[in-house]
Amino acid sequence: MANQDEFFKKVVAHAKEYGFIFPSSEIYDGLAAVYDYGQMGVELKNNIKQYWWRAMVQMHENIVGLDSAIFMHPRIWKASGHVDAFNDPLIDNKDSKKRYRADVLIEDHIAKIEDKIEKECEKAHKRFGDAFDRQQFVTTNARVLEHQKQIDEIQAKYAELMNANDLVGLKQLILDLGIVCPISGTRNWTDVRQFNLMFATKMGSVIDDSDTLYLRPETAQGIFVNFLNVQKSGRMKVPFGIAQIGKAFRNEIVARQFIFRMREFEQMEMQFFVRPGTELEWFKRWKEERLQWHLALGIPEECYRFHDHEKLAHYANAATDIEFRFPFGFKELEGIHSRTDFDLSRHSEFSGKKLQYFDSELNENYTPYVIETSIGVDRMFLAVFSHALKEESLEDGSTRTVLNLPARLAPYKAAVLPLVKKDGLPEKAREVQHLLMPEMMVQYDEKDAIGRRYRRQDAIGTPFCITVDNDTLENGAVTVRHRDSMQQERVAIDQLLPYLKARL
């Protein structure tokens, strides 16, 4: 755990030092759980969004995009259930006066038991070496099985209590598990209460007469209320999807873990409208497709796992999370939900407008069922960024910090570096830079020794460094250095563009 904490601190520090993420309003001492993306961060974030948009919209002829407004009619949030039920169960410790989410206290308790399983696996791995079979070990080792049994029992109890909205039972579970406040170390807890997570604001010039609006807590509702507009104007046929990327706002009480849980964040959501009765089939397909999207980035499969929900929201008939191994353990990265016809039916009821589809093949009208895929841009950022950050020991005894981001997500694809700042090398390097610029993000750097410049590019994740030296002036070739292997090869300038594009 200590190592994980240390590593996570490095992630946060690196993000700031190299212009990826800054605390919001820092010169005014910051604003809790709000962050700004710097010059590198905005590139990485845009590349993540583009990677998602390409895969979801461009690569599916039956999925189209949308950009709906953040402000929406307040009745939308009544219809969606957010006004009445978008709550977190909160509990205070009377000694430290600190407030916690009851569900997070229980999740953290479970994470500690999961850590024990991990430690058993690490010990066994050391003992058995290459012969270690994790799957066999976790299904047969007595201590691991005992820990797993504990986890299953807690999860089942927790799901039962949450389903019944049993706040008294939730407090009792916290007491029974012996959970203490991390600050005071005591079990002196208040009762559990529900707290709504939406930010409210006012619209109109006269505050008293104006309507209360909510900053949207998810982008999905903008899609539901535009269902008919898109379907009719785009002559869309079920099954079809509507995808959207945009800001969402939640007044998170336990806002922590950097950009994992923010108060202002961004979501990439897609609602897929299907015939009633086919939704579980589509749910399975989207589960697989979304996992493949993650794996296509080249991050190893063991960093991901599905967590099927035991506690289903009242409108869902299946739900799963794709969890990622963050520096603080496996946590939700993306949600995939089978939301039945709940949202469209509720908006029909509350707006008085029929939100139905005429299926000409079946010759009938129905309210489509919906499969939703929903992923946080910032959480995806944290996943790829923290996985990419490595401290490597080199053969010559030195170390280097490298961000081995998937090349397609890297802020800069190449850096052009004249070996020295004279003899016409900067001019030649500028030529190379301008050759590449229309096709990709390129940095030019002539300051400091070449080794230090390589390190700077390693730290921001640039996959290729292109060095222009005296030979370049003679033979028209440059040295391309690969970020991960540090191997170098000579490439003719007129071949450079196809060479790089083939590797990006």
By CB under 6 A, residue 335 contacts ligand GAP:
yes
Beta carbon nearer to ligand GAP, 21 or 460 = 21
Taking each continuous run of H as one helix and of E as one strand, the counts in the chain are 17, 23
Would you state the structure tokens that stand for residue 144, as one six-digit string?
């691991």
> Please, is 89 exposed, middle or buried when counting C-beta atoms within 10 Å of its C-beta (0-12, 13-18, 19+)?
buried
> Please, is 34 exposed, middle or buried when counting C-beta atoms within 10 Å of its C-beta (0-12, 13-18, 19+)?
middle
Contact between 377 and 450 under an 8 Å Cβ cutoff? The reply is no
By CB under 6 A, residue 374 contacts ligand GAP:
yes
By CB under 6 A, residue 218 contacts ligand GAP:
yes
Shortest separation between residue 464's beta carbon and ligand GAP, angstroms: 31
By CB under 6 A, residue 241 contacts ligand GAP:
no
Contact between 310 and 155 under an 8 Å Cβ cutoff? The reply is yes
Q: How many residues bind ligand GAP (CB under 6 A)?
A: 19
Q: Which residue is nearest to ligand GAP (CB)?
A: 376
Would you state the structure tokens that stand for residue 229, as one six-digit string?
């507009």
Q: How far is residue 406's CA from residue 408's CA, in Å, rounded to a whole number?
A: 6
Would you state the structure tokens that stand for residue 460, as one six-digit string?
């921001």
Q: Which stretch binds ligand GAP (CB under 6 A): 3-11, 108-116, 170-178, 257-265?
A: 257-265
Contact between 367 and 251 under an 8 Å Cβ cutoff? The reply is no
Shortest separation between residue 267's beta carbon and ligand GAP, angstroms: 5
Q: Where are the alpha helices (DSSP H) in 352-492?
A: 377-388, 425-436, 450-460, 470-475
Q: Which stretch binds ligand GAP (CB under 6 A): 64-72, 91-99, 142-150, 367-375?
A: 367-375
Sole binder of ligand GAP in the list 88, 378, 445, 458 (CB under 6 A) = 378
How many of the other CB atoms lie within 10 Å of CB of 84?
11
Sole binder of ligand GAP in the list 267, 338, 443, 462 (CB under 6 A) = 267
- Cα torsion 154, 156, 157, 160 to 10°: value is 150
Q: Closest by alpha carbon to 413, among 457, 349, 373, 378?
A: 457
Sole binder of ligand GAP in the list 109, 250, 331, 413 (CB under 6 A) = 250
Q: Which stretch binds ligand GAP (CB under 6 A): 65-73, 185-193, 261-269, 449-457?
A: 261-269
Shortest separation between residue 468's beta carbon and ligand GAP, angstroms: 42
**Of residues 277-306, those binding ligand GAP (CB under 6 A):** none
By CB under 6 A, residue 376 contacts ligand GAP:
yes
Would you state the structure tokens that stand for residue 444, as one six-digit string?
């030019």
By CB under 6 A, residue 262 contacts ligand GAP:
yes
How many of the other CB atoms lie within 10 Å of CB of 94?
13
Element (H, E) at 123: helix 102-128
Shortest separation between residue 337's beta carbon and ligand GAP, angstroms: 7
Shortest separation between residue 76's beta carbon and ligand GAP, angstroms: 13
Beta carbon nearer to ligand GAP, 267 or 443 = 267
**Of residues 86-105, those binding ligand GAP (CB under 6 A):** none
Contact between 15 and 21 under an 8 Å Cβ cutoff? The reply is yes
Q: How far is residue 210's CA from residue 492's CA, in Å, rounded to a whole number?
A: 66
Q: Which stretch binds ligand GAP (CB under 6 A): 127-135, 332-340, 427-435, 458-466?
A: 332-340
Shortest separation between residue 335's beta carbon and ligand GAP, angstroms: 4
Q: Which stretch binds ligand GAP (CB under 6 A): 14-22, 226-234, 333-341, 387-395?
A: 333-341
Q: How far is residue 401's CA from residue 457's CA, in Å, rounded to a whole number?
A: 10
Three-state secondary structure call for residue 185: coil
By CB under 6 A, residue 379 contacts ligand GAP:
yes
By CB under 6 A, residue 375 contacts ligand GAP:
yes
Q: How far is residue 157's CA from residue 192's CA, in Å, rounded to a whole number?
A: 16
Beta carbon nearer to ligand GAP, 337 or 483 = 337
By CB under 6 A, residue 269 contacts ligand GAP:
yes
Using CB under 6 A, list all residues that contact ligand GAP.
218, 220, 250, 252, 261-262, 265, 267, 269, 332-335, 372, 374-376, 378-379
